[in-house]
Amino acid sequence: MKRNLVLAMCATIALVSSVQAIEMKAPNMSVMKNVTSAVSNAAASLTPSSVKGTVSEINTKLIAADTSVQTAFNSLVAALSSKEDAAKCKAKLNAINNNKNLSASEKSAKIAEIMTDYGTTLKENQEALGEQIKTASAAKRTEITNAVIALAVASFQYVDIANDCKNIAMSISTNPTLAVSCATELASLKDTASILKNNIKSLKNVTTQAVAVAKIGGLEIKLPKPGASKAKKANI
């Protein structure tokens, strides 16, 4: 029993650390105390069944977020790259999504890798791509601007889900008995937090490089803040 409790608590700590890393900020202890006090009340009404339901909802949200992000990413690639390169990129994403031998986390890791590679491509070809934008039509320049902003907004969904993971994990951690009963769910939340961290990092790189390319082409793109969407920063 004690061993299971320790393992459950370790999973909770690891999860909160992963979510915190998304913001790259040191923990505010006064805020931590307030949050802990608030979630302890909510924890009293939690049951293993309700926790499983919440984790299922989080997984559903993640699937929807993945779809939105990939759609926005494909639009960005189509706006900045050749038709051939855009088609190749989309085909790679489809191949990963349709591979039944890959787990959800493995698919996410491979998709994040593709996005990271594209960010590198943008960085290595900044000048050439920027020159193309300078002579692009007004419609094309608008397409690029909209695609970059759409990808940034889509990525905010991941931050929103990270908040969900943090809140439910902290609620569970205040109830030792529930923590043991929901050890599997805590492990699932930890995996999700790790996926979110990698995805957000990849998307930030892509949008940063896209903005830099656009600037060379004479386009000043101001990315919206998470507070401007339904998503909220995962502050702890």
How much is the pLDDT for 121? 96
Tokens of 97: 């999504």
Where b means 16+ CB within 10 Å and e means fewer, 173-200 reads: bbbeebbbbbbebbebbbbbbbbbbbbb
Contacts 24+ apart (CB under 8 A), 223-228: 223/148, 223/149, 223/152, 224/149, 224/152, 224/153, 226/156, 226/159
pLDDT tens digits, 32-53: 455 444 444 555 578 888 888 9
Q: Which residues of the chain have pLDDT under 70?
A: 1-44, 227-236
Query: 89-103 pLDDT, tens per residue?
Result: 999 999 999 999 988
pTM (two decimals): 0.76
